[in-house]
Amino acid sequence: MAVQVSNNYPKQATDCGPILNQYLDILIIGAGPAGISSSLYLAEKGYSPALIDEAEFPRDKVCGDAISGEGLRVLKSFGLMDAVEQSGRKYNKKELNLGLDNFITMENKAIGLPRKVFDNILLTRAINSGVRFSVKRFTGRIYSKTIHNGMETPAKEKNSTKAGRSSTGKKADGFGNNDYTVEVLCPKTLQKSFITARYIIIATGCQSDTVFSRMDTEKFAKPDQAACRGYYRAAWPVSERKYFFLQELNPGYSWIFPLGNDVFNVGCGGKILKVRKLNLKQCLDEFIQATNKRYTCGGEWLQPPQSAFLRTNFSNLKALKKYPNIILAGESMGSTYPFSGGGIGKALTSGIIAAQAIDAIILRKSPHKTLSEIYTETINKKMKPSYYTAFTLWNHLLTQTPLEKFIYKRVFKSHRSPDVIANILSKKTTPDYLFSLKNILKYLFFK
Ligand SMILES: Cc1cc2nc3c(=O)[nH]c(=O)nc-3n(C[C@H](O)[C@H](O)[C@H](O)COP(=O)(O)OP(=O)(O)OC[C@H]3O[C@@H](n4cnc5c(N)ncnc54)[C@H](O)[C@@H]3O)c2cc1C
């Protein structure tokens, strides 16, 4: 049975008409948080972007469904807070369980809303703001020449068309040799068609990376984390988000996020490591059994657990170097933070930065820079934490088995430092605090 949190979907966002054999200023591929935020931002700036997704909406996305800090700020800027709050569940706190009787509660606002509803609210808002949406699957085939009815047309012929002007009259700098033509399929009929655009944002997440094997990528990074979640009904006395840092998942955790009416988004996930094979479904089963035992009650899956990947660490920021006018946003770029996550908010933010970079190029704000140069610089400046190197080091050290055990034992279970872990998770403390000489000595010689 599919989880039914609400049947009141806003206006159904399905196929809004074909975008076939057309010239576009801006094409965005993938209607997750990253793709929708970039298209919405551009539509509000007066452009007429086209957005395609292989799925008909509303569609599910395997996720913990918790939209926190950064995500909420972006929703506010789009005037979407009311819609999201009305459909979702408000959280004020999160509880970090670092051992059986060792937990910390932190003030932390967030909203729990199944992605099926959340993404549909975003998409409906984008369509209402003028984004042209169409259900199409990008195949990964991309040409630097125009394709007309399956025949290549030399790029220079495109200059004689009226292409490049959006419905609002903003001109995308004249179409020419930098255009790309992408091959797309109608997912139902598999009918092939082509879309030519000057600027392209690819925001296809990280569940269908096969498209990138057809592109000329540079050091394309695979997903580095895996997680699994389902919707479970039980009379657990849990009203705020709970995270459990279990040793078998480290670096990773399991979670319980209440959605109301005794329905919980329950899941677990961790870093993909060569040294271990995580059976996430088994971990989740054991976690559910332990939780039922803890609260002396039973429950049932409303929607059984499904697994999905995550990509963190901005690992693909430069992967499309060879395509100066195409950029990756969201998890296809690796926008999620290692360790502390926040994927929805990070995807929304990277989408906006991608859109701002296109706006800057079209308005010639930085005449000597390419689109990908402007984008990369801004992501480095605005998204990477100031303690990024320490963060990466921390993440790396946790993947070395002996050190991982050591850190788990001495830090995660230490009664002296639960607040440190909480503060690192909420990015208040820099992870290099743990590696100060004082702390290393403390963890080595004191219990
Ligand atoms: C189990 C799990 C739990 C998580 N929990 C949380 C959480 O609680 N909070 C949080 O903030 N983050 C969470 N995340 C991370 C979050 O889900 C992602 O960071 C976020 O969805 C990334 O957004 P995106 O727009 O980059 O990609 P996605 O949301 O994956 O969207 C990509 C879109 O591209 C479309 N697409 C893919 N391929 C093609 C193609 N070839 N052609 C056309 N369209 C295509 C897809 O249909 C999809 O609509 C979780 C992730 C997992 C796996």
Ligand 1 centroid from CA 347, angstroms: 8
User: For residue 430, what pLDDT is reported?
Assistant: 63
Ligand 1 environment, Cβ below 6 A: 29-35, 52-55, 61-66, 137-138, 203-205, 207-208, 211, 227-229, 267, 269, 308, 310, 330-331, 336, 341-345, 347
Which pTM does this prediction carry? 0.86
* pLDDT tens for each residue of the chain, 447 residues long: 444 444 444 444 455 455 555 667 899 999 999 999 999 999 999 999 999 999 999 999 999 999 998 999 999 999 999 999 999 999 999 988 876 566 788 888 999 999 999 999 999 999 999 999 999 999 999 998 655 444 444 333 333 333 333 333 343 333 345 689 999 999 999 999 889 999 999 999 999 899 999 999 999 999 988 999 999 999 999 999 999 887 677 667 899 999 999 999 999 998 786 656 778 999 999 999 999 999 999 999 999 999 999 998 899 999 999 998 999 999 999 999 876 668 999 999 999 999 999 999 999 898 899 999 999 999 999 997 666 666 666 666 655 555 655 665 666 555 555 566 666 655 566 666 666 666 666 666 655
Query: Ligand 1: which residue has its CA nearest to atom 41?
Result: 138
Task: List Cα–Cα distances, 133 to 52, 55, 57, 386, in angstroms.
Answer: 6, 11, 11, 37
How far, in Å, from the CA of 331 to the mean position of ligand 1? 7
User: How many Å apart are CA 418 and CA 123, to the nearest integer?
Assistant: 40
- Exposed, middle or buried by CB within 10 Å (0-12, 13-18, 19+), for 218? exposed
Choose among 6, 111, 12, 10: nearest CA to 65. 111
DSSP string, 58-78: S----S--EEEHHHHHHHHHT
- Compute the distance from residue 368 Cα to the ligand 1 centre, in Å: 34
Query: Is the ipTM beyond the 0.90 threshold?
Result: yes
Distance, in Å, from the CA atom of 159 to the CA atom of 51, rounded to the nearest integer, reads: 24
What's the pLDDT score for residue 406? 61
Tell which residue, 189, 215, 208, has the closest CA to residue 20: 189
Pocket perturbation via mutation, ligand 1, pick of 29, 38, 61, 63 by most ligand atoms within 8 A of CB: 63
Give the pLDDT score at 169: 36
DSSP states along 107-158: EEEEEE--HHHHHHHHHHHHHHTT-EEEE-EEEEEEESSEEETTEEE-GGGG
pLDDT at residue 339, as a whole number = 65
Kindly give the distance from the C-alpha atom of residue 434 to the centroid of ligand 1, in angstroms, as a whole number: 31
Q: Indicate which atom in ligand 1 lies nearest the CA of residue 138.
A: 42
Q: Give the whole-angstrom CA distance, residue 203 versus residue 331.
A: 7
Contact criterion met (CB below 8 Å) for 397 and 410: no
Write down the pLDDT at residue 432. Answer: 62
Q: How far is CA 278 from CA 226, 227, 242, 248, 397, in A?
A: 9, 10, 21, 8, 19
Q: Do 199 and 325 form a contact (C-beta atoms < 8 A)?
A: yes
Tokens of residue 13, six digits: 């966002």
Q: Which atom of ligand 1 is nearest to the CA of 68?
A: 11
pLDDT at 172 (0 to 100): 39
Residue ID of nearest Cα to ligand 1 atom 19: 343
Tell me the chain's radius of gyration from C-alpha atoms.
23
What is the pLDDT, as a whole number, of residue 99? Answer: 63
The tokens of 53 are what? 């997704």
Question: Tokens representing 47?
Answer: 């452009």
- Residue-level pLDDT at 187: 92
